[in-house]
Amino acid sequence: MGAICGKEKSASKKVKPSQAPQQPPSTTVAAARQAPTQAAVQQPQQQPKSAAAAQKEPIRTAQQTTGSSGSKSKTINVEKELHKYIIGTKGATIKQIKEDTNCDVEIPENGETITVRGSSDSDCQRAIDMINKIKGEHKTQSQKDKEHTDMKNDHEKEHQRTEELYKKGQEKVDRIAKERDDLHKQADKAFESGDKSLGHQLREQAKAKTQELEKASKEASKSVFLAKNAKNDKFTVDLHGLHANDAIELLVEHLDGIKSNKGKEFTIITGAGNHSDANGPKIKPMVHKLMKEKGYTYSEVNNGSIVCTL
């Protein structure tokens, strides 16, 4: 009995926790390999950001975006010094563009590219057209300088052309002038020799040559006048480069031919007098005086031309 009891005690002896046999893992190798994929599929949904976190995110400006769905944009290059005209006094012009086209107009602080944004291509194009119109009404300083240089060059070319035209008629004038001078010399010799009759006769011939000379000079001026105005209509005359007295006579003659066109505007190109002597322009003040004498209202278009009303 004692032996039997001893065995029972030994069989019922408790195993300490530390000595308990380890159980094999319940997850198989195949399941372990599938775990990452399942974890990826079963990732928890992101929680919505708080208002404070959202405020920290950068805001994209209009220049940085290409426009939301349905919005359109167009660009136009406008010289920097003309931007003030697009903006207008106290922003009045750009405000008008926005109101008339329903477009936003973005003018860069640096650069020349202006961007317009609107809901349709047609709205954007209307804004571009308005900007283009304003751009066309103003000139940059470089454009003004170029125009001034071109104008001076054109005037110089025209002056040279006028001189060439005068030379053609001047040959005849010079020939008659020489004949007149020779007659005066012969008349002087005749008087010195005591032949007064011959002297008076030669002086009369010299006088006739003077009249012939004046006629030839007017014909030369008229020829130059017609050549210079061949491409002008009858309401524009160019007197630039003509001899002053001849120019006024030709102008009066021309005005008499069109005076029936009451109320019609008439342009007279006088020239600025850049090729005149130290006394200044000749034709310009004479034309102004004629306009006042005739009672025509007129105004200067620029330094070398006027517009009068018949």
Class of residue 173 by CB neighbours under 10 A (exposed 0-12, middle 13-18, buried 19+)? buried
pLDDT attached to residue 278: 58
What amino acid occupies position 129?
D
pLDDT attached to residue 90: 92
Q: Going by C-beta distance under 8 Å and a sequence separation of 6 or more, which residues neighbour residue 41?
A: none
Q: How many CB atoms lie within 10 A of CB 158?
A: 16
Residue range 105-122: mean pLDDT, rounded: 94
Q: Report the sign of the C-alpha dihedral through residues 138, 141, 143, 144, in that order.
A: positive
pLDDT-derived band at 153, boundaries 50, 70, 90: confident
pLDDT-derived band at 155, boundaries 50, 70, 90: low
Beta bridge partner(s), residue 299: 307
pLDDT attached to residue 77: 94
Q: What is the pLDDT of residues 31-84, one digit of tens each?
A: 444 444 444 444 444 444 443 333 333 322 233 333 444 489 999 999 999 999
Q: What is the pLDDT of residues 90-108, one digit of tens each?
A: 999 999 999 999 999 999 9
Q: What is the pLDDT of residues 136-146, one digit of tens each?
A: 999 888 888 88
Average pLDDT, the chain: 76
More confidently predicted of 209 and 263: 209
What span, in angstroms and rounded, lies between the C-alpha atoms of 276 and 146?
24
What span, in angstroms and rounded, lies between the C-alpha atoms of 232 and 37?
90
pLDDT-derived band at 265, boundaries 50, 70, 90: confident
Percent residues over pLDDT 90 in the chain? 33
Q: What is the pLDDT of residues 189-245, one digit of tens each?
A: 999 999 999 999 999 999 999 999 888 888 888 888 888 888 888 898 888 878 888
Q: Do residues 239 and 247 make contact, with C-beta atoms less than 8 angstroms apart?
A: yes
More confidently predicted of 150 and 84: 84
